[in-house]
Amino acid sequence: MGLFFGSPRRLLLKTNIRLLSHIHCLHPVQLYHFIPALAFFFALVSFTACRSAINDTTKGGGAIGGEPNVAAKSFFTSHYDFYCTDPNLIKSLLTPRAFRILKHHYGNYTNRHEIGVLDCDPWINAQDGEISRPFNFVTLQNQNSEVITRFDYTFRTGFKTSRLQSVIVKFQRSPSSSTWQLADFIMPNNESLLDWLERTP
């Protein structure tokens, strides 16, 4: 079962399946007249789903605490769309460097899955596919001021096509509280998301 927490693709996929089941029954002439409305519908669903995902992100209050694995899981489930959310809304979740870089690139996004030069979902390093079970959170480093956690998961691109992937989430202790802030995010290709955004115009 694909999970893909916080992503509008999950809602859009389910809607597409239902809608396509009706489209297959249409006569070609009817389908021709249906195309403009279909395009508008998909655009509306994408926008609505992403706004809902972003609203869910901001409802969480931003604070991330607890043990490293708990913090990483909370970030994954509650703040999946951090890379395309207005950084001002999740400022308490970000270190000053992460906030500066994400804020600089936020205005350059072309849609809610793409900011600046990033044309993929950094959690999967792809435009299509989904995160599925089994997955696991592994603590790689646990210090008082910094923790590093690896998130291992099954990346599924079809019913019979899957592979194991992982991302690394680095947190630093907030100077003003005992909560954690995102310091870096290492994508499945071992590239730092923040480094990539910082060096690319």
Q: Provide DSSP, 19-52.
A: HHHHHTTS-HHHHHHHHHHHHHHHHHHHHHHHHH
Query: What average pLDDT does the chain have?
Result: 76
Which carries the bigger pLDDT value, residue 29 or residue 93? 93
Which carries the bigger pLDDT value, residue 85 or residue 61? 85
Phi, psi of 49 (to 5 degrees): -65, -40
Q: Which residues of 76-97 are buried (b: 16+ CB within 10 A; e: fewer)?
A: bebbbbbbbbebeebeebbbee
- pLDDT-derived band of residue 159, with 50, 70 and 90 as boundaries? confident
* Burial grade of 119 (CB within 10 A; 0-12, 13-18, 19 or more): exposed
Question: Residue 63 in 3-state DSSP?
Answer: coil
Across the range 21-33, mean pLDDT stands at 48
Query: Which of 4-8, 67-71, 79-83, 102-106 shows the lowest mean pLDDT across its residues?
Result: 4-8
Q: What is the pLDDT of residue 144?
A: 87
Phi, psi of 131 (to 5 degrees): -85, 125
Listing from the earlier edge strand, what are the strands of the sheet with 146-156? 130-142, 146-156, 162-173, 180-186
Question: Residue 113 in 3-state DSSP?
Answer: coil
Across the range 142-155, mean pLDDT stands at 95
- pLDDT-derived band of residue 62, with 50, 70 and 90 as boundaries? low
Q: What is the pLDDT of residue 21?
A: 41
Residues 6+ apart with CB under 8 A from 69: 137, 138, 139, 149
46 HSE (CA, 13 A, CB side): 10
Q: What is the pLDDT of residue 116?
A: 58
Q: Are 151 and 167 in contact (CB under 8 A)?
A: yes
- pLDDT-derived band of residue 15, with 50, 70 and 90 as boundaries? very low
The H or E element that residue 170 is part of is strand 162-173
Dihedral angle over CA of 171, 111, 108, 184, nearest 10:
10
Across the range 112-134, mean pLDDT stands at 81
Query: Which of 5-9, 17-21, 33-37, 111-115 shows the lowest mean pLDDT across its residues?
Result: 17-21
Report whether pLDDT(78) > 90: yes
Question: Cβ–Cβ contacts within 10 Å for residue 108, how many?
Answer: 13
Q: What is the pLDDT of residue 200?
A: 80
